[in-house]
C-alpha cells in the first residue's frame, strides 16, 4: 500500500467551515470517480505540524493507492470528469501545500480513526533491520500504523506513526507529535 499525502491550508480570508465543505465535496466526487489503483482517501485536520505554517491548522489528504501506477490515474481523475468542478472550487481557496509519497511499513494499513501521529526519522548508526525490530516491539499489542517516506516532495520526516495510545519515543528518537482529527474517511 502506498499513500500520496497532500498537505494544504486555505487562504486567510476563507472560513474554515467553507474550505472543509469544498474539500469534502471533492473527496466525495473522487470516491465516486474511483480511478484505477485508487483504494480510498482519508482527510485529517492537523494541528501543530511545524511544516504547515498556519495557526488555524491545516489538512492532510492521504490518498491510499495500490501501487505507483495509480498516481497517474489519480492525477488525471482529480481534475477531470465529476471531480473537475469540486477540484476547481477547493483550488480557488487554496493558499499553499506540500506533498510526499509514503508506503505502509508496519501495523495496520488502515489510518482512519487515529487521533495522534508521531513524525520522526531513523537515527543514523542504527541498521534498518534493528530499527524495524525496534518499531515492531514498540507497537506490539497496540493498534498502530507506521508509514515510511518513499519520496520527499516536502518537509515531512521519514516516518509517520499513527496511534491512539501514548507511546514514548523520546529516549531514542526526536519526534514531532501532531494532533490529528479525521474529517473524511472514504473507505
131-164 pLDDT, tens digit each: 999 999 989 988 999 999 997 666 778 999 999 8
C-alpha cell at 177: 507529535
To the nearest whole percent, how much of the chain has pLDDT over 70? Answer: 94
CB 103 within 8 A of CB 150: yes
Q: How confident is the model at residue 97 (pLDDT cuts 50, 70, 90)?
A: confident
Q: What is the pLDDT of residue 48?
A: 81
Residue with cell 534498518: 128
Rounded to two decimals, the pTM is: 0.94
Tell me phi and psi for residue 51, to 5 degrees.
-85, -5
Task: Please name the residues in contact with 154: beta carbons below 8 A apart, sequence gap of 6 or more.
Answer: 7, 51, 98, 99, 100
Task: Please name the residues in contact with 43: beta carbons below 8 A apart, sequence gap of 6 or more.
Answer: 23, 24, 27, 59, 60, 61, 62, 182, 183, 184
Q: Which domains does the chain have, with CATH numbers?
A: 2-181 (3.30.70.100)
Mean pLDDT computed over every residue of the chain: 91
Q: What is the pLDDT of residue 167?
A: 67
| pLDDT of 168 higher than 70 | no
C-alpha cell at 170: 523520546
Q: What is the pLDDT of residue 166?
A: 73
Amino acid at each position: 500500500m502506498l499513500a500520496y499525502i497532500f498537505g494544504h491550508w486555505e487562504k486567510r480570508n476563507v472560513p474554515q467551515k467553507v474550505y472543509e465543505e469544498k474539500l469534502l465535496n471533492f473527496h466525495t466526487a473522487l470516491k465516486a470517480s474511483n480511478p484505477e489503483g485508487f483504494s480510498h482517501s482519508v482527510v485529517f485536520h492537523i494541528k501543530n505540524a511545524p511544516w504547515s505554517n498556519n495557526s488555524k491548522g491545516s489538512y492532510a489528504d492521504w490518498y491510499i493507492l495500490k501501487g505507483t501506477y495509480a498516481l497517474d490515474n489519480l492525477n488525471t481523475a482529480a481534475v477531470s470528469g465529476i471531480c473537475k468542478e469540486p477540484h476547481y472550487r477547493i483550488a480557488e481557496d487554496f493558499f499553499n501545500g506540500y506533498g510526499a509519497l509514503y508506503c505502509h511499513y508496519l501495523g495496520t494499513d488502515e489510518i482512519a480513526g487515529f487521533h495522534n501521529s508521531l513524525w520522526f526519522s531513523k537515527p543514523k548508526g542504527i541498521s534498518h533491520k534493528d530499527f524495524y525490530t525496534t518499531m515492531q516491539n514498540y507497537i506490539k499489542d497496540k493498534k498502530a500504523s507506521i508509514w515510511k517516506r518513499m519520496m520527499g516532495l516536502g518537509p515531512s520526516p521519514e516516518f509517520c506513526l499513527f496511534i491512539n495510545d501514548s507511546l514514548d519515543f523520546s529516549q531514542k528518537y526526536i519526534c514531532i507529535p501532531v494532533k490529528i482529527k479525521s474529517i473524511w474517511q472514504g473507505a
